Structure 1
Amino acid sequence: MGIYTKIDFANRKVVECHSTSSIFRGYSIFMKGKDPRDAHFITSRICGICGDNHATCAVYAQNMAFGVKPPAIAEWITNLGEAAEYMFDHNIYQDNLVGVDFCEQMVKATNPSVWDKAQKTLARHSAEHGYRTIGDILVSLNPFTGEFYREALSMSRLTREMFCLMEGRHVHPSTLYPGGVGTVPTVQLFTDFLVRLMKYVEFMKKVVPLHDDLFDFWYEALPGYEEVGRRRVLLGCWGSFQNPEVCDFQYKTMTNWGRGMYVTPGIIVDGKLVTTDLVDIGLNIRILLGSSYYDDWDKSETFVKTDPLGNPVDQKHPWNQTTIPRPQKRDLNGGKYTWVMSPRWLDKRTNDHLAIDTGGGPIARLWATALAGLVDIGYVKSTGQSVKIYLPKSATKGEVEFEWKIPKWSNALERDRARTYFQAYSAAAALYFVEQAMKELHAGRTKTWTEFKVPKDAIGCGFHEAVRGVLSHHVVIRDGKIANYHPYPPTPWNANPRDIYGTPGPYEDAVQDTPIFEENGPDDFKGIDIMRAVRSFDPCLPCGVHMYLGEGKELQVKHTPMFGSQAGHS
């Protein structure tokens, strides 16, 4: 991945941004002809970070295509595994990767004046997290030497262990199958999970107030920082954590069981919830090209003309997509420049193809869940304006209630803040899932798999939330084999280029017009504000995102000095 920017140093802002990808994957091509029962094992390898999210989503699509409903305890086990994955990935990303962008070493190198303020600013929640000043927090975030950095890193081991208890291994699970799971449910299994979970709950009681202090300080120290990474509120969430009481994986009942999820699906446009209907959400996905290295498939085969409810399915829908790669030279001046296509959501009210983003996942999940007001399981509750998270008494800390409130902006700092709150949300939800799994166990309902037969012809779709946001798998089966398969993870939704209408993708849109607060000039520019904007979306392999300055070429445009730079994954 590469983020190419042009920066106007005279006016301290980014004036142009292009998001590129130089690798072609081809999963949609080599999935054809495969046994559909293998879909989750193969697509898990799409990602070395969130492979289990792909496996889970593929299993959801298989369940629909095969017409199978897993036993309830199998769904609780899957939910526990996915909750552990959210806890693991958000924790290690937020505190061991994003946190470095805010650590003492980085702030000293980019904003010495902010470091000076941080040392003098008392932390409002010092009693909860133990750091007296904001400066102390920044020191604790220093990689490898910082106290909080090391504490967070140790937590990643606990959360991986939690995941492996439920799904066998990390990151490519060995116990997920269509129809259920291979995990053997026992009291010992859930107790081992719960012991680790309560340590994480205790950790969250420190993490949430610490990050609130950190992000609140940034607004205070740098007035106007809300504009960094800010874009129009266009958020998408496909929902997470199935409710086995209502979920039968049938397409015809998807509206109902989608709204029964413990993270509510939804499309948010300008801060308003447009729909929570998974049928509506799925049908209006459109895959556009424009600046991508592919030929159009308008004249290719139409695999699905209508959905099981009789609704027409567009040729640009993933069910009907045919991937036709066309390698060519990168052209950032009005031509094609990336292997990423441009997923869009068609807003039928205005007929606009919206470049929705996931906000890195948590901000969209919390926003949709908050507005929908459908979740109330004791440990988490959506109020219509916020999400309340209840964490019970733990080893050394009393019970705590956190409340994530809908922010004023969809920007870098609020994407990061939401990531912290969703860690607490996942932990709270997992407490409920453990209770439900234990109820099934004590009632003697220990069967974890339902038999099925692979149909000769079928279609299926799975909707889930990968760590970084929306994830859907779309499968067409003919003669017992996969005829068409298209997975759409969050990265294409966030990292896509300008489409056929000239609409920039979310990374591009969020970085363009971002103000530059870094105190360094062109000769010593590190691009920290750009990196915070991009990293707030949680791009895959963020540890590889670095600033590369090249020769520092200066462009003369209308007598305004410009500076070309690029940032990308190594």
Structure 2
Amino acid sequence: MKTSPRSGQSGPQDQPRELVEMSWDPITRIVGSLGIYCKVDFKNREVAECYSTSSIFRGYSIFMKGKDPRDAHFITSRICGICGDNHATCSVYAQNMAYGARPPALGEWILNCGEAAEYMFDHNIYQENLVGVDYCEKMVRETNPGVLAKAERTEAPHAADHGYKTIADIMRSLNPLEGEFYREALAVSRTTREMFCLMEGRHVHPSTLYPGGVGTVATVQLFTDYLSRLMRYVEFMKRVVPMHDDLFDFFYDALPGYEEVGRRRVLLGCWGSFQDPEHCDFTYENMASWGKRMFVTPGVIVDGRLVTDDLVDINLGIRILLGSSYYDDWQGQEPFVTHDPLGNPVDIRHPWNQHTIPRPQKRDFTDKYSWVMSPRWFDGKDMLALDTGGGPIARLWSTALSGKVDIGYVRATGHSVEINLPKTATKPEKTFEWKIPERNGELMSNALERNRARTYFQAYAAACALYFAEQGLAEVRAGRTQTWTPFTVPEEAISCGFTEAVRGVLSHHMVIRNGKIANYHPYPPTPWNASVRDVNGVPGPYEDAVQNTPIFEENSPENFKGIDIMRTVRSFDPCLPCGVHMYLGDGKELRKLHSPHAASTL
């Protein structure tokens, strides 16, 4: 963290403000290339300005050109060592559309089981072992000792469910390496990783996932092994959901006004997840129909209202703006795609038509300052800076409002999502209900609710996985054991794949010419969330959520840790590899000559 005072800036009502420049670079606990640069107004206890930066550039969209389309999922899986399987899945979806391939039902149930396990694995390890540290006893002691004192005196309302008597006991259980729950969550992550490997062969880069289906050998034993682990996870979630409800509700009570930390306008995007093989044929012409039958319903939510749940509309609305990022514009270049397969016009700023033209330069917060571009969604009037809220809050909100999912284990009501977990070894059947968050009559998309949704979505993914495993077992027992269907690669095609990476919206856009990839652009959640000020001056979601966020930390400016800022950014589950891509061009040879008289260095 760096600080340097600045004074004389104007703030609200043009009152003089004394601003202190502060930076956290890196701010993430995974992959340290995200920097957050702020101006903090300590007199008024709020953040005045925020800039989100990324210091690395990669170039998958460049070196994918000319490749065999069948290699796309193997290559794009390496975009990230955390959500690589989500990229592989999305790429396979795009390839299925391009090749006209429709996997057998069993292949889709296996893939759904694998992706559900990935959600359970990643959300668990992030919630308890990474973002959970921001709420642990050691962190709260250092930043808000008054809050910790209150936590010691506050009994946990659901102590009978999770076993921790006070809120302070919950906080102690989250202490890194020492806390009981911290260590338990690490052990659970091993179980969920095993579940994934049963279905897709290898974590995090699947070895049995292909266009047209999967290479997994489907047996009763396969699903039994998966279910035995899944039921242990289901029992675990019956403790986790009430524990986190107690913790997050306490922060609202202990710090009145804390709902404003990380709050921004409700602008949420969800591209849907978990295909229903009965309805999904992967054709673009039918995408609007089969997209609505996904077990996580796609949708764009503006100010709490569902604007669309149509994947064709979602696809055509995507715009890639540059603004404050280190690239040259491609406006004026010949488009790869002028119309989609339904005859709708395709904008030059759509990913199908994007050119990646890097232009490295010195960082300048008045001009260009990051390698992350600025995806926006055009609603016909405005370029909306959608966020994913880290993934789960957008998924649950969209699914709840659409009201389309009803498979027994989960049900969307139009205003909430019900999650029904069956009896497990030591715990009875349990129903949880995630409700669209409100406080004082206002909808809430803030740090605490993003984190709360992450917990509920773990339970949602587990409930869906029970259904997927049962459907897969039914296919095997009926003798329908085919998991893959053959296909041919066309000479010309345009296609797209839509799913949800762990952290939110993920789309892959591909153009094939002469049997090779002519253009390929993956758009994961990170560029949406970490985007920078666009050509219209609109800040990205990290920036927007941090700006104007109040400061509740008790430390003086000299000892300021920025915990409220950190909680805001980390509530989005930031992970920068997907936001920027490496490109080395033709490369060059470097030689370092050593003098025998020079001092030895290591």
Secondary structure in 2 aligned to 1:172? coil
Q: Give the Cα separation in 2 of the matches to 1:39 and 1:67.
A: 16
> Counterparts of 2:319 and 2:123 in 1: how far apart (Å)?
29
CA distances 1:388-444 after superposition (whole Å, capped 9, x unpaired):
000000000000000000002000000000000000000000000011001111111
- CA deviations over 1:20-58 (Å, ceiling 9, x no partner): 111111000000000000000000000010000000000
| Alignment equivalent of 1:339, drawn from 358, 371, 378 | 371
Structure 2, unaligned runs of 5 or more:
1-33, 439-443, 578-602
* Structure 2 counterpart of 1:386: 416
- AA matched with 1:160: R
AA at the equivalent of 1:426: A
- In structure 1, what is the Cα distance between the partners aligned to 2:393 and 2:145? 30
Instruction: Tell me whether 1:190 sits opposite 2:220 in the alignment.
Output: no
1:174 match = 207
Following the alignment from structure 2 to structure 1, what is the Cα–Cα distance between the partners of residues 200 and 563?
Answer: 37
| Partner secondary structure for residue 506 of structure 2 | strand
Which amino acid in structure 1 is aligned with residue 481 of structure 2? T
- Map 1:517-556 → 2, pairs under 5 A: 517-540=552-575
Of 359, 362, 371, the match for 2:389: 359
Give the match for residue 546 of structure 2. Answer: 511
SS state at 2:39 partner: strand
CA contact (8 A) 2:54 2:576 kept: no
TM score, norm. by length of structure 1: 0.94
- What pairs with 1:454-493 in structure 2 (closer than 5 Å)? 454-493=489-528
1:15 pairs with one of 42, 48, 52: 48
What is the Cα deviation at residue 161 of structure 1? 0.2
| From 285, 296, 301, the counterpart of 2:318 | 285
What's the counterpart of residue 317 of structure 1?
A: 350
Residues 148-180 of structure 1, C-alpha deviations (whole Å, 9 max, x = no match) = 111111000000000000010111010100000
Letter in 1 for 2:232: K
User: Hey, what does 2:450 align to over in structure 1?
Assistant: 415
Match of 1:376 in 2: 406
CA deviation after TM superposition for structure 1 residue 299, in Å: 1.3
SS in 2 for 1:251: coil
Q: Hey, what's the Cα distance between the residues in 2 that align with 1:99 and 1:2?
A: 20
One-letter amino acid matched to 2:151 = A
Superimposed CA distance per residue, residues 456-479 of structure 1 (whole angstroms, 9 cap, x where no aligned partner): 000110000000000000000000
Structure 1 residue 265 corresponds to structure 2 residue 294: no
DSSP-derived class of the 1:390 partner: strand
* Alpha-carbon separation, structure 2, partners of 1:103 and 1:338: 32
Give secondary structure in 1 for the equivalent of 2:558.
helix
What residue number does 1:449 align with? Answer: 484
Matched letter for residue 357 of structure 1: D
Counterparts of 1:337 and 1:441, CA distance in 2: 54
SS at match of 1:219: helix
Note if 1:397 corresponds to 2:427.
yes
Which of 331, 334, 338 does residue 305 from structure 1 map onto? 338
Secondary structure of the structure 2 residue equivalent to 1:482: strand
- For 1:437 and 1:268, locate their aligned partners in 2 and report how far apart those are by CA, in whole Å: 33
Q: Counterparts of 1:541 and 1:223 in 2: how far apart (Å)? A: 33
Q: Who is 1:548 aligned against?
A: none
> Cα distance, 1:301 vs. partner?
2.2
TM-score by length of 2: 0.89
One-letter amino acid matched to 1:363: I
Q: Which residue of structure 1 aligns with residue 362 of structure 2?
A: 329
**Residues 119 and 458 of structure 2 are in contact (CA less than 8 Å); yes or no, is this contact kept in structure 1?**
yes
Partner of 1:565: none
Partner of residue 552, structure 1:
none
Question: After superposition, where does 1:60-71 map in structure 2 within 5 Å?
Answer: 60-71=93-104
Identity of aligned residues (%): 78
Matched position secondary structure for 2:170: helix
- The answer on whether the counterparts of 2:152 and 2:167 sit within 8 Å (CA) in structure 1 is yes
Residue 298 of structure 1, CA deviation: 1.0
Cα distance in 2 between the residues matched to 1:449 and 1:205: 36
Give deviations 1:60-110, integer Å, cap 9, x for gaps: 000000111000000000000000000000000000111110011000000
Residue 115 (structure 2) pairs with residue 82 (structure 1):
yes
Deviation of the 1:541 alpha carbon: 6.6
| Post-superposition offset of 1:6 | 0.8
1:47-66 paired onto structure 2 within 5 Å: 47-66=80-99
Which blocks of at least 5 consecutive residues in structure 1 are unaligned? 543-570
Q: 1:502 corresponds to which residue?
A: 537
Cα distance change of structure 1 residues 130 and 541 upon mapping to structure 2, 3 Å threshold: farther
Q: State how far apart, in whole Å, the 2-side matches of 1:299 and 1:66 are.
A: 30
Residue aligning to 1:549: none
Alignment partners' CA distance in 1, 2:316 and 2:44: 43
Tell me how far apart the structure 1 counterparts of residues 137 and 393 of structure 2 sit (CA, whole Å): 26
> How far apart in 1 are the matches of 2:261 and 2:60?
35
Letter of the 1:490 partner, please give it.
P
In 2, the alpha carbon distance for the partners of 1:540 and 1:23 equals 13
Contact in 1 for aligned 2:526/2:576 (Cα 8 Å): no
Alignment partners' CA distance in 1, 2:132 and 2:368: 34
CA offset digits 1:543-564 (Å, max 9, x no partner): xxxxxxxxxxxxxxxxxxxxxx
Aligned to 1:556: none
The one of 418, 426, 432 equivalent to 2:467 is 432
Partner SS, residue 445 of structure 1: coil
What is aligned with 2:28? none
Q: Distance in 2 between matches of 1:96 and 1:70?
A: 37
Q: Secondary structure at the match of 1:502?
A: coil
Q: Which moved more, 1:294-303 or 1:467-476?
A: 294-303
Query: How far apart, in 1, do the equivalents of 2:530 and 2:576 lie?
Result: 13
Q: Secondary structure at the match of 1:68?
A: coil
Which of 156, 168, 193 is residue 160 of structure 1 equivalent to?
A: 193
Q: Secondary structure at the match of 1:212?
A: helix
